[in-house]
Structure 1
Amino acid sequence: MIRHLLSAADLSRSDATLLLDTTEEMLRLTEGRSVKKLPTLRGRTVVNLFFEDSTRTRTSFELAAKRLSADVINFSAKGSSVSKGESLKDTALTLAAMGADGVVVRHSASGAPYRLASSGWIDARVLNAGDGTHEHPTQALLDAFTMRRHLGDLDGRKIVIVGDVLHGRVARSNVILLNTLGARVTLVAPPTLLPLGVENWPCDVSYHLDPVLPDADAVMMLRVQRERMNAAFFPSAREYSRRYGLDARRFGLLSDEAIVLHPGPMNRGMEITADVADSERSVIVEQVSNGVCVRMAALYLMLAGADETADDVHEGAA
């Protein structure tokens, strides 16, 4: 297993499969138990280092670490020395002095987790919880895990990802990981919401949603990143919804086995209508619960040792 998890591209197919298999074991061991804690990371310290607000992701990582019996320190840039001018290096040296074994980093600047991992400032394992518009590897892992539970092996499966690819980090990580797992990905968005160089990504690109839906095994709707926008990328919210929103009519174009995903939080009525989001084939709530187990698997494999397998988790929980 890799030392740091900074990008979905860091994962080979065997690495990704090991992570998904270990997630399955984590889910099995904690599902239905009154006490969900496992002793596997007892004595280890995990720091959640968040320079950018994200209650959902931070809470998910915190819960994952605590379920593995790790000691958890939540470090928010707001109200800390960082807001007073402390550098990333100074913060890293402070964490090193605290004896951090793992650091979960979320930062508004693309590449910040890589800088922390490669700088030599800290010896801890670094896990990227989202950096700028770059990547969010554990989100891609939980999405892939959710798809695999419903669709089986993802090799050859057709996955459609729709929406704001330009400002989000979820699409890039998903394209990379799903391609590694053998899936065929199609990005659908207006030209203004696609990044430069997208033609070099391992996926197809379409400006039209309806034609790609009948063959899709899964459709992932991306949130329109309104807070990151400073220009008009489409005429209006109504126009965006009309051309790229997943409504009841478009939902009817999907096969009966196709599933619907959304990394959240949703703009209901814009990229997805309420009836589709709440339908039986929507796995959006399941994505959230799977996120904890995916992050448990990542922390376990990075901090407990690469030579241990998913079977060792069961032995540790016995």
Structure 2
Amino acid sequence: MTAETLRRLGRAVIDTEAAAVAALAGRIDERFVQACRHMLDCRGRVVVLGMGKSGHIGGKIAATLASTGTPAFFVHPGEASHGDLGMITGQDVVLALSNSGETPEILTILPLIKRLGVPLIALTGKPESTLGRAAEVTLDVSVAREACPLGLAPTASTTAALAMGDALAIALLEVRGFTEEDFALSHPGGSLGRRLLLRIDDLMHTGEGIPRVRLDTPLSEALHEMTRKGLGMTAVLDADERVTGIFTDGDLRRAVDRNLDLHDTRVEALMTPDPKTVQPGLLAAEALALMEKHKINALLITDAEGHLVGALGMHDLLRAGVV
């Protein structure tokens, strides 16, 4: 078995599955629209059923629906006939996956689903199967052939079913006006949640932790303040505690290059006037975008009157996992 043979076999699988997914584009028709409408009108949950490999795909589809604004969960059909059918209510929609459309565990509970009067949507490779005929909406996810050379292991068929499930979920997401922040609310523990939900109020240095000096402060004292607070900069305030400038490591290097006397030169002479400031409540992700846009490593946070209330450095964003 040569390396080229292995590569050829791998490429053949990708080509087969890509063709199976491409064929679905022509099946995004009125039946797809009907399936979406049933889900949009659902006052309960979308209950996803599937056995074996279809069950694994069903679980992923349910998770994708749930995380994109369509409440959903997966029920194992075998368990459903032993009590779990009670998880389905008259306000739900059932989405059943079966490539053959003749999966015994699903057919066993079909009469009970019909008795509940809930909409049944089928994802099947055999639209004329028992499941396909029983469903209010049948979505054809048939494939020309499996990627498995024996034609036995579900490969292209499961990929096609997964792609159709994603198409349903994302179509519903768009129609519902689902936003990044909505997505983050269901993923608060991940990096996405940190990036989209965290606000600068949770990260900024406040009180004595804010580096600050007055306009007439000597550069030597400003350097001491920067070193003590560890943000690589210090805010420069006027007599009313309003931000009038910022003095950074870069400004200090320029002072050294010019051989200025650090004890006799005041910070006002080298500070950057009218620095970029923001007000509390800003998302940390927005603060990051602002810092990247203006190529700065720190932000000063002020109130509506320009009084200094906080300071935020790039390292604060790094530690919080926002970057």
**Greater RCO, CA 8 A, separation 6+:** 1
Give the TM-score, by structure 1 length.
0.31
Instruction: Tell me which protein shows more helix as a share of its residues.
Output: 2
Larger Rg belongs to: 2
